[in-house]
């Protein structure tokens, strides 16, 4: 699989087939890691992202190559949607040296590919806002084009870093998109039961920035919302908040049976693969699925063939070796 980034203008955007293919790959990685968690091939921590694929796919569909991303942690959708090779994504999770971070941080995701604008993430949830804010400030000071996306969940919107960075980003009109995947849960804490507002988007008004809510099951709708936000941001008007309403189909982690969930939670559920797939010819859709399955098998074997790292990696890549 090639590692080409998504583009900004409608004519430069990857075709729907490419984005559907990435969505199928991301769903396949869900299946793989459930299987590998159960049989202990994977001994780390997997946050299932099944059901949420429309968000990451939609975000990356709207971005340009010069944009930078602090990805949202659930599943492997964001790096796959941006065009990262599944071999790298899987090898990183397995802690192998053939991953993008060469075996550091295996067990939970630490994907990085600066050529795709995948800048990594923070060590704990909510730190992405701070690092993303720094990246956006660097873009502004250096006069570099594009925007920075800081991805986060509804639970993470409650971290102080959200407020602190947003206050500053507004003051400096930083090119920063706050993109929230609101799946209604922070582990077992219900957003509806604990939030004083019905949405996260409406909190944007308190900061004087635009905030919109979009249907996260519909990748094309997410793409259009992010494209509008991007236009606002690149015109120098400062940050923007997009909230994608979605569903966490699985547990918080693989093995969480979710007894805390209401029985009617999925009554209105629409699967993002069905929604995006409906715009494709059925034969083309099946061909993409078949091709993706074979590719993913090959990538999984390639990732598994990598060695675990030796101690020599510990001091490698601690400091930047180039100025930008
Ligand atoms: C600062 C911090 N607190 C707690 C955790 C543990 N933790 C991991 S995922 C998670 C739930 C976050 O909920 P949300 O932001 O809604 O994202 P979701 O898991 O629903 O995708 C928590 C509490 C963490 N990683 N970092
Ligand atoms: Mg959540």
Tell me, in angstroms, the distance from the centre of ligand 2 to residue 40's CA: 26
Closest CA to 256 of 58, 34, 17: 34
| DSSP letters spanning 180-209 | EEE-SEETTEEHHHH-SSS-SGGGGGGGTS
Report pLDDT for 45.
86
Atom 11, ligand 1: residue with shortest CA distance: 186
Ligand 1 pocket, residue 45 CB under 6 Å: no
State the pLDDT at residue 289.
98
Is residue 51 lining ligand 1, measured as CB closer than 6 Å?
no
The pLDDT of residue 1: 44
CA of 314 to the centre of ligand 1 (A): 27
3-state SS assignment for residue 106: coil
Q: Which residues of the chain have pLDDT under 50?
A: 1-2, 323-324
Nearest CA to ligand 1 atom 12: 186
3-state secondary structure of 40: coil
Predicted local confidence at residue 324, as pLDDT = 45
**What's the confidence (pLDDT) of residue 149?**
98
Pocket test for ligand 1, best of 76, 155, 189 (most atoms within 8 A of CB): 155
Whose C-alpha lies nearest to ligand 1, atom 13? Answer: 186
* pLDDT for the residue 322: 59
Atom of ligand 1 nearest to the CA of 156: 15
Rounded-to-integer distance, Cα 120 and Cα 180, Å: 17
C-alpha 9 to ligand 2 mean position (Å): 30
Q: Cβ neighbours of residue 34 under 8 Å, at least 6 residues apart? A: 46, 48, 254
Ligand 1 centroid, distance to 185 Cα (angstroms): 9
For residue 155 and ligand 1, the question of a CB distance below 6 A is answered with yes
Q: Which atom of ligand 1 is closest in space to residue 124's alpha carbon?
A: 26
Q: Which atom of ligand 1 is nearest to the CA of 191?
A: 16
CA distances from 290 to 20, 31, 49, 285, 303 (A): 12, 15, 21, 9, 20
Nearest CA to ligand 1 atom 8: 125
**What is the reported pLDDT for 4?**
63
CB of 190 closer than 6 angstroms to any ligand 1 atom: no
Residues 16-257: name the CATH superfamily.
Answer: Thiamin diphosphate (ThDP)-binding fold, Pyr/PP domains (3.40.50.970)
**Helical packing angle, 16-38 and 53-62, nearest 10°:** 140
CA distance 109 to 89: 8
Q: Ligand 2 being an ion, which residues bring their Cβ within 5 A of it?
A: 153-155, 183, 185
Mutate to test the pocket of ligand 1, among 49, 187, 244 (most ligand atoms within 8 A of CB): 187
Distance between Cα 292 and ligand 1 center (Å): 30
Using a 6 Å cutoff on CB, does residue 187 contact ligand 1? yes
Spatial separation of the C-alpha atoms in residues 176 and 178, rounded to whole Å: 6
Question: What is the DSSP-derived secondary structure letter of residue 153?
Answer: E
Q: Hey, what are 198's tokens?
A: 């019905």
Contacts 24+ apart (CB under 8 A), 117-122: 117/5, 117/63, 117/65, 117/66, 117/67, 117/68, 117/69, 117/82, 117/146, 118/69, 118/71, 118/78, 118/79, 118/82, 118/84, 119/68, 119/69, 119/70, 120/70, 120/71, 121/70, 121/71, 121/73, 122/70
d(CA 173, CA 151): 18
How is the chain split into domains, by residue range? 16-257
Q: Between helices 16-38 and 86-93, what is the axis angle to 10°?
A: 20
């Amino acid at each position: 699989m090639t590692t080409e980034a998504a583009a900004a203008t409608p004519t430069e955007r990857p075709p729907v087939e490419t984005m559907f293919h990435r969505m199928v790959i991301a769903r396949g990685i869900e299946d793989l890691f459930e299987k590998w968690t159960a049989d202990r091939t994977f001994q780390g921590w997997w946050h299932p992202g099944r059901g949420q694929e429309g968000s990451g796919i939609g975000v990356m569909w709207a971005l340009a190559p010069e944009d930078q991303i602090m990805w949202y942690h659930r599943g492997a959708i964001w790096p796959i949607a941006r065009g990262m090779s599944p071999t790298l994504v899987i090898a990183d999770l397995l802690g192998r040296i053939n991953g993008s971070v060469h075996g550091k941080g295996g067990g939970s995701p630490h994907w990085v590919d600066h050529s795709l604008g995948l800048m990594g993430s923070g060590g704990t949830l909510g730190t992405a806002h701070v690092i993303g804010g720094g990246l956006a400030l660097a873009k502004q000071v250096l006069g570099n084009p594009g925007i920075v996306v800081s991805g986060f969940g509804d639970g993470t919107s409650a971290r102080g870093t959200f407020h602190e960075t947003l206050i500053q980003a507004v003051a400096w009109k930083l090119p920063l998109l706050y993109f929230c995947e609101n799946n209604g849960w922070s582990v077992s804490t219900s957003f509806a039961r604990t939030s004083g507002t019905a949405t996260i988007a409406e909190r944007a008004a308190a900061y004087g920035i635009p905030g919109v809510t979009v249907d996260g099951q519909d990748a094309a709708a997410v793409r259009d919302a992010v494209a509008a936000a991007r236009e606002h941001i690149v015109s120098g008007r400062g940050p923007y908040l997009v909230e994608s309403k979605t569903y966490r189909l699985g547990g918080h982690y693989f093995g969480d049976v979710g007894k805390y969930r209401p029985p009617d939670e999925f009554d209105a559920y629409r699967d993002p693969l069905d929604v995006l797939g409906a715009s494709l010819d059925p034969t083309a859709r099946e061909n993409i699925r078949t091709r993706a399955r074979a590719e993913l098998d090959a990538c999984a074997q390639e990732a598994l063939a990598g060695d675990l790292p030796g101690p020599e990696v510990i001091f490698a890549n601690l400091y930047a070796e180039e100025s930008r």
